């Protein structure tokens, strides 16, 4: 589990508004604090959003929706669970959740890395446009929906509709898949895939070996309108 | 030789049944070939109740007009001054609606921004994000946050002057955007992180929120991300307007942007253009009523769009309670869209200039709704900006002229009492008396009249029998 130094400045949320918490974090980032510890976040929404910094921010407890949303560069660690949309639309940086995450985890991220040690809810990795999402546990319904680019790694199982309507990108999954979504297909692992998976499994201490994973990608049948696959289109449209 | 001589029964009925007119038959043939719904640009072909069904009743002996060509008539408009520390101040109550770089060429988008800056009004980004040239050209730029998040960049969010969360649009409420492969050029594909040439079908639901309670949190996030400086607009297609407006206000919207049935789009399944949403005028009336019920009329501003085509439409919208109008098709038409300069090329596409429905093809001969560099080169940026400037300047003069004729020194002082309805429908929708009568044909008014008659005993006996 990631830690910050014991000398890190502390922002105690207990008596502060969301506005005041975020302002305090930004001031510390602007002052060059490498590590910032935020205590008593109490599942408050919209914490550490739209940061442009290289600082590391540790939330010592659960956070609410959109934690580290629109992040650009910060290393955010949550020692607890988080709500919907963690790291949504992230451009760069790193967000680690040492707990479970709600729906829409890493929605529409364009870069950076999101790691969820536990499970993630529905629509994990929805509309990803780049970056990497690693979920140690399970992912919910329609995860990877309309994924455009990037990499999603799932150590556990996936609920229905995995990878529905993907444009591009790749999903690696070690557990079971309740069902694939429209136009999502399984493809053989390449040597490059295996190397990527080994690196990720090693970095996050995942118990799986690269061979445990399957590769899911777009079948590309939905890229253009066609009358040749009427049933696929009926389901997809 | 008569038909009977050829064995054709003399009593043969001639003429096509209205239900099965030429357009219906062509529609069926078209779908029988395509195997899917038809797609087109532009707006509905249906005639629906609209602002043309209202007329102003300017000052005569009973009211005092202002001098139409001289006296001052204020047009300044402020949007989003409820919470944001930097509200939008427009020189006139007109904005340019969100249209994407992708649906439109870069030159067209930049020309809109250039014209808007000279006019002191705002323009709006679209699906695909912010174009560098558009930002540079636009003094006031509204940044759309769309379900697709194509090209979304937090840095651009911070560079914007206002934020517009798009829930839907009037042309196709309940359905996401559409950009056919011909327009997904290498540049557009990269901006949207899509494969080149793909038929892009945008999602309709946002990836990180679903309902109004979620929206409330999302709005707070956007405020936090931008230091509570920028007004937050919520744009919706006109559907269940009363409920939707109330929910958007509750979620924290500073400005409601309501897009009616007549709203156009770069591309849409045709079935949605003609069979979804309610007309702009109807939507406006419902929205004003909803804001009144919440006691926030004037505090939360209302921008109405969908088929606004001249100063009279703007004046009538303001008289019914809108704070500003937003235009899209009118601005593009002013720029030269559908102009009869390239008739042969329109014909090759199967359209006539003025059809206003070939924008989805990506082959717009005027260089406006295309990503083809050769076609785009036909559009001169300065000329295009001049034409949009001239049109909106003229539209403003029309608006002021009508306001002065009604004795108003501020266009926002126009009111329903300044108008009469020309149709039963318009009267019922707006609550404005039908011209030539003092009737207000709203359901409540009709009920009141019936009650009055019953009270006088006129119908009591009948009712008792």
Evaluate if residue B213 carries a pLDDT over 50.
yes
Mean pLDDT of chain B: 93
Taking only the tens place, the pLDDT of each residue in B260-281 is 999 999 999 999 999 999 999 9
Tell me if B93 is assigned to some domain.
yes
**Segments of chain A scoring below 50 in pLDDT:** 1, 237
Tell me if B240 is assigned to some domain.
yes
- Contact call for B199 and A148, based on CB within 8 A: no
Tell me if B426 is assigned to some domain.
no
Among chain B residues, the shortest Cα distance to A146 is held by B203
Q: What is the pLDDT averaged over residues B1-21? A: 75
C-alpha distances in angstroms, B118 versus B230, B294, B332?
22, 36, 17
Packing angle of the helix pair B311-320, B381-405 (nearest 10 deg):
50
CB-CB contact of B267 with B180 (8 Å): yes
- Contact call for B208 and A223, based on CB within 8 A: no
Among chain B residues, the shortest Cα distance to A229 is held by B35
Question: Which ipTM did the prediction report?
Answer: 0.94
- Residue B381 sits at φ, ψ, to 5 deg, of -60, -50
Comparing CA positions, the residue from B348, B335, B328, B236 lying closest to residue B41 is B328
Helices H / strands E in chain B, number of each: 17, 16
Q: Positive or negative CA dihedral for A150, A154, A157, A159?
A: negative
Q: Is A49 in the B-facing interface, judged by CB distances under 8 Å?
A: yes
Q: Note down the domain range covering B333.
A: 51-417
CB-CB contact of A53 with A71 (8 Å): no
B contacts of A85 (beta carbons < 8 Å): 207-209
Tell me if B18 is assigned to some domain.
no
Number of domains in chain B: 1
Q: What is the pLDDT averaged over residues B208-226? A: 97
Per-residue confidence (pLDDT) for residue B462, from 0 to 100: 43
Tell me if B327 is assigned to some domain.
yes
- Contact call for B221 and A84, based on CB within 8 A: no
- For the whole model, what pTM was predicted? 0.94
Tell me if B369 is assigned to some domain.
yes
DSSP helix/strand/coil, B340: coil
B5 or B72, greater pLDDT: B72
Greatest Cα-to-Cα distance within chain B, rounded to the nearest angstrom: 87
Best probe of the B interface among A102, A223, A231, by most B CBs < 10 A, is: A223
C-alpha to C-alpha distance for B107 and B104, rounded to whole angstroms: 8
- Contact call for B154 and A70, based on CB within 8 A: yes
Q: Is A143 in the B-facing interface, judged by CB distances under 8 Å?
A: no
Return all residues near B23 (Cβ < 8 A) that are at least 6 apart. Answer: none
Residue B463: which pLDDT band, with cuts at 50, 70 and 90? very low
Per-residue confidence (pLDDT) for residue B3, from 0 to 100: 60
Tell me if B445 is assigned to some domain.
no
- Residue B54 sits at φ, ψ, to 5 deg, of -120, 150
Tell me if B8 is assigned to some domain.
no
- Residue B65 sits at φ, ψ, to 5 deg, of -80, 165
3-state SS of chain A: helix, strand, coil percent to 5?
A: 15, 30, 55
Evaluate if residue B91 carries a pLDDT over 60.
yes
A66: nearest CB among B152, B153, B217: B217
Give the CATH number, domain containing residue B85.
3.20.20.70
- Contact call for A167 and B194, based on CB within 8 A: yes
């Amino acid at each position: 589990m990631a830690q910050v130094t014991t000398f890190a400045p502390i922002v105690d949320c207990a008596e502060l508004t969301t506005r005041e918490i975020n302002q305090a974090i930004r001031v510390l980032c602007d002052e060059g604090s490498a590590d910032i510890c935020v205590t008593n976040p109490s599942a408050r929404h919209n914490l550490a959003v739209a940061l442009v910094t290289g600082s590391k921010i540790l939330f010592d407890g659960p956070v609410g929706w959109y934690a580290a949303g629109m992040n650009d560069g910060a290393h955010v660690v949550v020692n607890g669970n988080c709500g919907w949309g963690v790291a949504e639309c992230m451009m760069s940086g790193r967000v680690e959740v040492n707990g479970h995450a709600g729906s829409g985890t890493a929605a529409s991220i364009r870069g950076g890395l999101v790691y969820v040690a536990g499970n993630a809810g529905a629509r994990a990795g929805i509309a990803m446009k780049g970056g990497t999402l690693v979920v140690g546990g399970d992912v919910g319904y329609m995860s990877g929906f309309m994924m455009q680019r990037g990499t999603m790694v799932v150590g556990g199982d996936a609920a229905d509709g995995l990878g529905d309507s993907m444009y591009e990108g790749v999903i690696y999954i070690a557990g079971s898949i309740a069902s694939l979504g429209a136009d999502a297909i399984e493809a053989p692992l390449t040597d490059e895939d295996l190397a990527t998976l080994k690196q990720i499994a090693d970095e996050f201490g995942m118990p799986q070996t690269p061979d445990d994973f399957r590769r899911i990608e777009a079948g590309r049948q939905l890229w253009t309108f066609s009358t040749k696959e009427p049933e696929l289109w009926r389901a997809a449209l | 030789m008569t038909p009977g001589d050829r064995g054709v029964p003399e009593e043969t009925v001639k003429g096509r049944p209205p239900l099965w007119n030429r357009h219906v038959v062509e529609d069926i043939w078209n779908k029988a070939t395509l195997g899917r719904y038809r797609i087109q640009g532009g707006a509905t072909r249906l005639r629906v109740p609209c602002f043309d069904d209202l007329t102003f009743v300017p000052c005569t002996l009973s009211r005092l007009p202002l001098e139409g060509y001289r006296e001052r008539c204020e047009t300044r408009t402020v949007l989003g001054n409820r919470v944001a520390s930097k509200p939008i101040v427009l020189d006139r109550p007109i904005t340019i609606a969100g249209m994407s770089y992708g649906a439109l060429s870069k030159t067209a988008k930049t020309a809109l921004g250039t014209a808007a800056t000279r006019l002191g009004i705002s323009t709006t980004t679209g699906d695909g994000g912010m174009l560098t040239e558009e930002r540079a050209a636009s003094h006031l730029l509204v940044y759309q946050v769309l379900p697709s998040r194509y090209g979304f960049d937090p840095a651009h969010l911070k560079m914007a002057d206002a934020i517009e969360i798009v829930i839907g649009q009037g042309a196709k409420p309940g359905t996401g955007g559409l950009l056919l492969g011909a327009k997904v050029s290498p540049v557009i594909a990269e901006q949207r992180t899509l494969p080149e040439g793909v038929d892009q079908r945008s999602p309709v639901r946002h990836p990180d929120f679903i309902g109004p309670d979620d929206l409330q949190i999302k709005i707070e996030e956007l405020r936090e991300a931008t230091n509570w400086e920028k007004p937050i607009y919520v744009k919706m297609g006109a559907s269940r307007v009363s409920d939707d407006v109330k929910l958007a206000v509750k979620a924290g919207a500073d400005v409601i942007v309501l897009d009616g049935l007549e709203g156009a789009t770069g591309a849409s399944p045709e079935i949605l253009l003609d069979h979804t949403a309610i007309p702009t005028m109807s939507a406006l009336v419902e929205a004003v009523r909803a804001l009144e019920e919440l006691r926030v009329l004037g505090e939360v501003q209302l921008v109405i769009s969908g088929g606004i085509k001249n100063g009279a439409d703007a004046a009538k919208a303001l008289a019914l309670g809108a704070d500003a109008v937003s235009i899209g098709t009118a601005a593009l038409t002013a720029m030269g869209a559908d102009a009869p300069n390239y008739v042969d090329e329109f014909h090759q596409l199967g359209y006539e200039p003025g059809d206003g429905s070939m924008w989805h093809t990506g082959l717009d001969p005027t260089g406006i709704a295309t990503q083809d560099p050769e076609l785009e080169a036909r559009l001169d940026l300065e000329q295009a900006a001049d034409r949009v400037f001239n049109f909106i300047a003229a539209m403003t003069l029309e608006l002021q002229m009508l306001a002065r004729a009604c004795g108003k020194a501020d266009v926002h002082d126009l009111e329903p009492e300044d108008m009469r309805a020309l149709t039963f429908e318009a009267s019922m929708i707006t609550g404005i008396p039908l011209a030539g009568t003092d009737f207000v044909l709203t359901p409540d008014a009709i009920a009141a009249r019936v009650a009055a008659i019953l009270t006088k005993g006129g119908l009591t006996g009948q009712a008792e029998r």
